[in-house]
Amino acid sequence: MAKLVAALNEEIRRLARKEIREQVGKTMKQVAGQRKELAELKRQVASQKRRIDFLENREKKRLEQPPAARATKTTTGQAREEESAPRFSPKWLSSHREKLGFSAADYATLVGCSPLSIYKWEKGESTPRAAQREALANVRGIGKREAEKRLALLSK
């Protein structure tokens, strides 16, 4: 009789463990799904924070810049660019655009001008004004990844 009781107790324990495993298994799957969802939400929040920081910094820089409409008249009557405007080189512009791997349209979006202006600047047919030189100077130091991020933000 003692063996029967021991066998019954063992079978009851086995069934109880099996039942607990089934119940806990469902909960564990739910917890794993919620953890994945939470991790994705954290990634989205971090991405949004980076975008907000980038846009805030860009707006702060834009507000700190003096108005671009500062041009003085020379004796010949032509407007002379302000002396503090960054220098410009058509060769640099074309090499930088090629380094980034952008089309003229994408580069123009990044700088904030028209694609035709980019083509003319690269060929030396025209030169950018002071405000456009400032925009080119802001793009000058960035790499391909940063340029692609900015272009993605600007094209949205």
26 or 81, higher pLDDT: 26
For the chain, the structural domain boundaries read: 1-66, 85-156
Q: Residue 155 above 50 pLDDT?
A: yes
Predicted pLDDT at 75:
47
Predicted pLDDT at 108:
92
Give dist(CA 100, CA 145) in Å, integer.
9
Using one digit for the tens of pLDDT, what is the confidence trace for 42-80?
999 999 999 999 998 888 888 777 655 444 444 444 455
Least confident of 24-33, 94-103, 134-143: 134-143
Q: Residue 152 above 90 pLDDT?
A: no
Q: Residue 121 above 70 pLDDT?
A: yes
Give dist(CA 116, CA 68) in Å, integer.
21
Query: Across the chain, which distance is largest between two alpha carbons, in Å?
Result: 121
CATH 1.10.260.40 applies to domain 85-156: yes
Pick the closest to residue 142 from 89, 100, 88 (CA basis). 100
Least confident of 12-21, 26-35, 78-87, 144-153: 78-87
Predicted pLDDT at 72:
45
CB 88 within 8 A of CB 140: no
Pick the closest to residue 138 from 99, 116, 106, 112 (CA basis). 112
Q: Residue 82 above 90 pLDDT?
A: no
